[in-house]
Structure 1
Amino acid sequence: MRLFLTLVFLPLPVLADTISVGSTVTEVVLYPQGARVTREVAFSAPAGRHDLRIADLPEGIAPGMIRVAGAEGTQAGGFSLQEAGLAPAVPLPLPELEAAIGAAQAARDAALLDLARIDARIEAAEAQVGFLRGAKAEVTTQAPADLAAMGRMIAQEVLAVRESLLAAQGARAEAGRVVQQAEVALAEAIAARDARRAAQAGKALLSVAIAQVADGPGHLTVTHFIEEASWRPVYDAALTRKPAPSLVLARGALVSQASGEDWAGVALTLSTARPTEQAAPSELWPDLRRIADPEQERAYAKGMASEDAVMAAAPVMEAMMEPAMAELDGDVVVYRAPGTVDVASGVEDLRVALGELTFTPEIEARAVPRLDRTAFALARFTNGDEPLLPGEVLLMREGTLIGATELELIPAGAEAELPFGAIDGLRLTREMPQNSEGDAGILTSDTARVEKALLRVENLTQDSWPLHVIDQIPYSEQEDLEVVYSATPKPDETDPEGQRGLLGWHFDLAPGAKREILLEAKLRWPAGMELR
């Protein structure tokens, strides 16, 4: 058993009585790893000093990140965390479940009382019938007319009592069912209370020293951190071209938690902060370099064998000098889930909607004939006022699911693009025309090489598409290796984003149309050198 103690210096005298209470999770701030949980603790206590024991915290919380605040009229002092929780002999107070048990007991008792009243009526009716059946007239003293009247009266009374008895017996069957239902409800309420108390073995106990200003209700707010919780972004991207280009990005979050307790009706906030990760920059160490004659260095190494053991620790220094993994830049982004949310312990990837963003994209069909046989739809857009976090994107084009991709971090205001699958009706070919030597598009000598390619794009769809064709030529950074190319038609894009040797052509391709691009590259180098 581990016991953690945190003291807040508050002028509280020696503690008096002990009050055991439960708590309610009302708010959760969820991080990519971990969560800050806010619990509300309501109780009633007389004025004075008390030891308040909150017996339903999850195990594994970080003691150093617990904070306790009292409402008006309640002062919070020192507190300690006991991971093992309450001892088995100390019952966990459960006012709501105790109230449910009390109501079930009252309903059961009322049903038993109704059943007892019916039994009393049945017993009285049976006694009355017995009395009437046993009644005997004095034949010698009664006139015949009086005897006949008495007989009729006894028959009528017996009939009325028997009817009352039958009605009571029918009511008893229904009363018996009510009693059974009340007993089942009582048993269920007791079982729920006992199950909650049995679960306290897996809970931690927070003891808080409090001072109550006056008799009556008190209130504490407890916040703590747990590690067994996480969230990650997920998106649905829907692209349409008609009547106008539109890109709708439905944002969501996949929430998981295994804290050991259910979050019911909590206010959920998703934060991009990373409190469990590196908070300070890495530290660099001085890097001493030296030069030496190789022979002297070998002699020095032989004479200083003992120093080899010290140098063997160098990999540790190198590991410390390695740069940390990249972190998200910019301010923390916070998403607040609408309304309240239920997240059961053990749940994985509960999806929470975070709203939609709508963009007006530029749509193109990107064609790479060197590698692909069809063109692919891409949408370029400019992000809005908040960054889009990395996450999986489900892609839909014109209402049809076409695949998924991963979204990288897109800062606010940055340009980005998303792919939206192959366009099967845009056929691509890349042919290497034969030359006089019979080689497919390549003519090579000792000091020169010529490469030829014919790119062809054909639109077999019913729509016109803006094409962006990309191909490549060799490039050189050596003066002795000369690279010259020609292209018909000429490209309108060269070395995009600094990517040497890439060429691009932009044009619209109508339905049924074809387009060809002839590309030739010539390489020359001095005799005696080899092309690599």
Structure 2
Amino acid sequence: MRFISLALAALPLPALADTYSVSSAPTAVTVYNGYAMVTREVSVDVSAGTHELVFPDLPKWIEAASLRVNVAGAQLGSTRLRTDSLPPQPDADSPAVIAAKEQIEKAELALRDLEDRVEDASLTAQAAESRLAFLRGIATQKDLPAAPEDLANIAQMIEAQTLAARQALLASKRAARSINEDREDLVKAIKDAHAALASLTPPAEPKALLALSVAASEAGSVTASISYPANASWEPTYDVVLTRGDAESVTLRRAALIYQRSGENWNDVTLTLSTLAPTGQVLPSELYPTLLQFSDKQSLQKLGNARRGSISAEMAAAPAAMMDMVEPTPLPTPNFDGPGVTYTLPNTLTIAQNAEAARIEMDALSFDARVFARAVPVRDQTAFMMAEATNTSQEPLLAASIAQIFVDGSLIGRSSFASVPAGGEFVQSFGPIEDLRLTHAILDQSEGDRGLIKRSNIQVQQVRMTLENIGSKTWDVEVMASVPYSEQEDLVIKSEAKPAATLKDVDDRRGLMQWDLSLAANATQEIIIDQDIRWPDGNVLH
């Protein structure tokens, strides 16, 4: 029995459970549209056995349901998240924070030294004033010597001492003023040092404590990765540059604006931008078929009054999908190694919480372009420069609410930028062309068939659009105009244009017409549109 006990004692036994308190900070962040996933990754050397890893510095607002933990080098057991009644934690300042605090202390010591030197100068001034007061007292004494020679000596002494005292007083005041000249710089240095510390240390927020139970089969390094959602967002912004000449092109200089209100600073994190929106719709909409009935007019009138009061309530109580006449068309979502597109920045980044948007320069894409002019005479007095290009990259161009527009390196304005799928075409405007002047005039408009009952059922109109090129360059021009259209059989609309339109119902928009013209320098082009509209007697056109 004793032999067995000794043999068991000789076997390697697992180490007793140890608790490791680990400080952590964000190391990687993936930012989505309106959402971010923050990751903290730390490594701890442990012995074989069961251990507890404690992370005492997580944000208090973390929810257990959205917390994700991965452990490499050990088997993860249980996780426990604690947000109240936490034990006190020792200070664990980073080197940057320590340096900022030391700078504050240095600036405050310099200001204190200045105040001491001012006080020294003040003491000298006080001594000089005391000497002057003493000398004035001597001059008023009644028991002064009667001998003229003695009085002269006393007067000479008082004069000399008074001069020396006043000189000392003036010198001390000058010294105090000279010393105080540095006060403003020292006060500013203290404010700057406090500002630097504030940028490194967000306001103290309540913390949460996370405890992980892990079992290591052998001694080694255990890496824990903790991920949780945070309040952040990003959006693309562009510089859209048109280069004219023999090889016309559109260059898209891309950047990202990142906003973070997570309650903690992101210092030297690996940042990834994703086009996905985890907070958006993830389920398809429900459809509710509409029940249709028909009945004669008299029955419908009888039911009308009885049901009028309840229709509103029924519609309000019905599912929202029943009230949508047109369902929105989802935007195409390209795939690049998974849903959406991700951009990982090559270098780490630091973004303070609640700071202004951080702008991250990304890359530039260039596309061959066709430059032309677009004219809308009914609305504008000049044509506008346009460029048409094809997205030949392998990724979609994301929509941007802000895009700065450049022509040959000169900024001409700002606009938005619509999303473009990979391989899709896009058209971008680049401002007015002052050399292409537009006019729109209604030459004739009349209503006929007016009788004794003042009715009218015919409208005739003639419109003239004029394009004038006062420059020295020939322009390809797309002229846009609209004419009325009808969905009623008895409303007859006839339109005739001279010259005839190149395209009708442009982009499947009924009544929209387009002329493709080439307008030479110093040339003028007119387009005449005749419209004839007729409708049944006794009705009003609207």
TM-score normalised over the length of structure 2: 0.68
Corresponding residue number in structure 1 for 2:373: 365
Show CA shifts across 1:424-480 (max 9, x none): 2211111233xxxxxxx2132124332112221111233222111122333344444
Corresponding residue number in structure 2 for 1:219: 223
Contact 1:235 1:249 in 2 (8 A): yes
Show CA shifts across 1:387-441 (max 9, x none): 22221222112222222222223222222211111112211111233xxxxxxx2
Corresponding residue number in structure 2 for 1:348: 356
**What displacement does 1:51 show?**
2.0
Distance 1:355 1:242 in 2: 23
**What displacement does 1:493 show?**
1.9
Query: Aligned partner of 1:360: which letter?
Result: D
Contact 1:55 1:200 in 2 (8 A): no
Structure 1 residues 394 and 15: CA distance shift in structure 2, 3 A = farther
Structure 1 residues 450 and 38: CA distance shift in structure 2, 3 A = same
**What displacement does 1:209 show?**
0.9
**What displacement does 1:313 show?**
6.4
Structure 1 residues 278 and 486: CA distance shift in structure 2, 3 A = closer
Query: Aligned partner of 1:25: which letter?
Result: P
Distance 2:47 2:417 in 1: 58
Contact 1:55 1:92 in 2 (8 A): no
Structure 1 residues 442 and 249: CA distance shift in structure 2, 3 A = same
Structure 1 residues 92 and 43: CA distance shift in structure 2, 3 A = farther
Contact 2:82 2:209 in 1 (8 A): yes
Query: Aligned partner of 2:429: which letter?
Result: P
Corresponding residue number in structure 2 for 1:507: 517
Distance 1:60 1:327 in 2: 33
Show CA shifts across 1:138-166 (max 9, x none): xxxxxxxxxxxxxxxxxxxxxxxxxxxxx
Contact 1:27 1:266 in 2 (8 A): yes
1:319 aligned onto 2:320: yes
Structure 1 residues 264 and 400: CA distance shift in structure 2, 3 A = same
Contact 2:56 2:89 in 1 (8 A): no
Please list, as runs of the form range in 1=range in 2, the aligned pairs for 1:108-147 lying within 5 A after superposition: none
Show CA shifts across 1:192-235 (max 9, x none): 8xx97x97752221111122444564322222222x11111211
Structure 2 residue corresponding to 1:257, chosen from 253, 260, 279: 260
Corresponding residue number in structure 1 for 2:111: none
Corresponding residue number in structure 2 for 1:82: 82
Corresponding residue number in structure 1 for 2:396: 387
Distance 1:525 1:100 in 2: 84
Corresponding residue number in structure 1 for 2:214: 210
Structure 1 residues 15 and 416: CA distance shift in structure 2, 3 A = farther
**What displacement does 1:245 show?**
1.2
Structure 1 residues 31 and 499: CA distance shift in structure 2, 3 A = same
1:49 aligned onto 2:50: yes
Please list, as runs of the form range in 1=range in 2, the aligned pairs for 1:90-489 lying within 5 A after superposition: 90-91=89-90, 202-215=206-219, 217-226=221-230, 228-285=231-288, 287=290, 293-294=299-300, 297=303, 312=313, 314-319=315-320, 321=322, 327-330=330-333, 331=335, 332-384=340-392, 385-392=394-401, 393-433=403-443, 441-446=444-449, 447-489=457-499
Query: Aligned partner of 2:227: which letter?
Result: T
**Structure 1 residue runs without a partner (length 5+):** 1-12, 104-187, 434-440
Show CA shifts across 1:488-522 (max 9, x none): 22222222122222322212222222222222222
**What displacement does 1:531 show?**
3.6
Distance 2:94 2:268 in 1: 19
Contact 2:241 2:252 in 1 (8 A): yes
Query: Aligned partner of 1:229: which letter?
Result: A
Corresponding residue number in structure 2 for 1:498: 508
Distance 1:478 1:455 in 2: 28
Structure 1 residues 388 and 62: CA distance shift in structure 2, 3 A = farther
Distance 1:334 1:366 in 2: 36
**What displacement does 1:371 show?**
1.1
Tell me the SS of whatever aligns to 2:480.
strand
Distance 2:423 2:15 in 1: 60
Distance 1:320 1:481 in 2: 34
Corresponding residue number in structure 2 for 1:184: none
Corresponding residue number in structure 2 for 1:139: none
**What displacement does 1:259 show?**
1.3
Superposition CA RMSD, Å: 3.6
Contact 2:399 2:417 in 1 (8 A): yes
Quick check: 230-239 or 17-26, which moved more?
17-26
1:32 aligned onto 2:33: yes
Distance 1:17 1:396 in 2: 63
Corresponding residue number in structure 1 for 2:59: 58
Tell me the SS of whatever aligns to 1:206.
strand
Show CA shifts across 1:29-88 (max 9, x none): 11102112221112344433222111222232332232222222x33221122234842x
Contact 2:59 2:205 in 1 (8 A): no
**What displacement does 1:375 show?**
0.5
Query: Aligned partner of 1:258: which letter?
Result: R
Distance 1:320 1:526 in 2: 38
Tell me the SS of whatever aligns to 2:319.
helix
Contact 2:478 2:514 in 1 (8 A): yes
Distance 2:68 2:52 in 1: 17
Distance 1:448 1:312 in 2: 44
Tell me the SS of whatever aligns to 1:39.
strand
Contact 2:404 2:414 in 1 (8 A): yes
Distance 1:461 1:389 in 2: 36
Corresponding residue number in structure 1 for 2:158: none
**What displacement does 1:248 show?**
0.3
Percent of aligned pairs with the same amino acid: 36
Structure 1 residues 15 and 521: CA distance shift in structure 2, 3 A = farther
Query: Aligned partner of 2:271: which letter?
Result: L
TM-score normalised over the length of structure 1: 0.69
Distance 1:279 1:322 in 2: 21
Structure 1 residues 311 and 466: CA distance shift in structure 2, 3 A = closer
**What displacement does 1:289 show?**
5.6
Distance 2:28 2:363 in 1: 20
Structure 1 residues 241 and 333: CA distance shift in structure 2, 3 A = same
Query: Aligned partner of 2:79: which letter?
Result: F
Distance 1:216 1:490 in 2: 82
Distance 1:497 1:277 in 2: 30
Distance 1:300 1:486 in 2: 51
Structure 1 residues 199 and 241: CA distance shift in structure 2, 3 A = closer
Distance 1:406 1:287 in 2: 39
Contact 2:478 2:517 in 1 (8 A): yes
